[in-house]
Structure formats: C-alpha cells, structure tokens
Chain A
Amino acid sequence: ETGVTQTPRHLVMGMTNKKSLKCEQHLGHNAMYWYKQSAKKPLELMFVYSLEERVENNSVPSRFSPECPNSSHLFLHLHTLQPEDSALYLCASSQEPQGRGGYTFGSGTRLTVV
C-alpha cells in the first residue's frame, strides 16, 4: 500500500451510466490530483486540488466532474462517457508548495467504457 487508496480497481460501464471513482490518502498531504493514462501516451493531468480548492482543470470534458470534500478524499464523477475515455485513471497526492518530493500514486482504476 502506498498510502493512496483508489476504488474500484476495475470498472466497466455503459455510455449512459453514471459512476464515481474514489480516492483516499492517508499521508497528510494537502494536494490531490487526477491523471488519465492511455496506451502510448504520457500521463495526462486532469484536475488538481490544493487545500480542497480546485486549482487546475486541463480542458477536461464536462462528462468528468471532480469533487474534493476534504484534503483526504477525492472523487471523479463520470457520466455519458465515450469509448475513448477507456483508460487507467490514477489519483495522486503530494505536499505543496513546500514539498520537493514527488507524487504518491494510488493503484489506479482501470475503466472500460462499452
């Protein structure tokens, strides 16, 4: 365990479904992130939350909706997804801005949209 827990590990959903991904960190970090990882592409930053405030949204389609109720929890709400949204979704946390350290990643959710 890395200290960042993601659930579920695998998710298959239809294009008309609504589902949510959950991330919880036990490291006392103050920043949390959602990344998308598709085959043969670099990690794509989706959202950044710092001190529970969204500080970055990298032109992500509105069918992805993040929520950060507190510094330990992060959600990604999904609705009317497309097959091209199938990917590994990674949550990460870090201590900012003082921290020089890297991210700690969760184990990821493998999402398949059918």
Chain B
Amino acid sequence: QKEVEQNSGPLSVPEGAIASLNCTYSDRGSQSFFWYRQYSGKSPELIMSIYSNGDKEDGRFTAQLNKASQYVSLLIRDSQPSDSATYLCAVKRPGNTGNQFYFGTGTSLTVIP
C-alpha cells in the first residue's frame, strides 16, 4: 500500500470553475499535510499546509482534512489558466530517523480558457 495516493489525472476544468484534488494516506500517525504546486520543469512550491481536521482557506485555495477517513483535499475556486500544474500531496509523520515526508505521484490539472 502506498503511503500517499493521488489520482494522476489529468484533471481538466474550465476557467472560473472549482478544481477539486484529492489525496488519501495510509498511516494514522501522520501529523502534517501539505499541498505543493509544480509547474512543468520547475521545483515544487508549497501552497497549503493543514494540521487539524476541517477546512483551511487561503485566497482561492481551501485545504480540507479528515483524519478519520485519512483524506486530504485541495479546492481551487475561480480556476485560472495559471493554475495549470501538477499538484503534489505530501504527508509528514514520525519515522525511525525523525519526521519523514511522503509524497504522492501528483495530479495534473489543466484549466481551459
């Protein structure tokens, strides 16, 4: 079982719509959850972090965490073509050598003008 699972996509949404990205994780000891955005040929950029159950909003982005279901999601409202990228879900939990990060394979998002 993978530590972090995401649908690889591609996910296509029209400009102005809501894009919904989903992620599940396997270890209930996971404590911190992150969404990274990666443009083609670039490095990942942290856009959201969430640590407790519920919603966290930052501008057009909302992260949702449900620890009981081991589920994290990212909603992008009023999607723009500049949001077209790969979105990586990452989970941080205690490991043998301290906190360890685990990444999903990423979901490719295309926002169609």
Contacts and interface: CB of A to CB of B under 8 A. Distances in A.
B97 A50 contact: yes
Contacts of B51: 100
A40 B45 CA distance: 18
Contacts of B88: 43
Interface in B62-98: 88, 90, 92, 97-98
A62 B64 CA distance: 41
Contacts of A48: 97
Interface in B8-55: 8, 31-32, 34, 36, 41-46, 49, 51
Interface size range on B against A: 20 to 34
Contacts of B61: none
A103 B103 CA distance: 11
Given A96-B98, A100-B32, A100-B51, A90 B103 contact: no
B103 A56 contact: no
Given A42-B105, A90-B43, A90-B44, A97 B99 contact: yes
Residue among A41, A42, A107 with max Cβ neighbours from chain B (10 Å)? A42
Nearest to A110: B41
Contacts of B98: 31, 50, 55, 96-97
Interface of B: 4, 8, 31-32, 34, 36, 41-46, 49, 51, 88, 90, 92, 97-101, 103-106
Interface of A: 2, 31, 40-43, 45, 48, 50, 55-56, 88, 90, 96-97, 100-108, 110
Given A2-B43, A100-B49, A108-B43, 18 more contacts: A31-B98, A40-B105, A42-B106, A43-B44, A45-B101, A55-B98, A100-B31, A100-B51, A100-B92, A101-B46, A102-B32, A102-B90, A103-B44, A103-B101, A105-B36, A105-B43, A105-B45, A110-B41
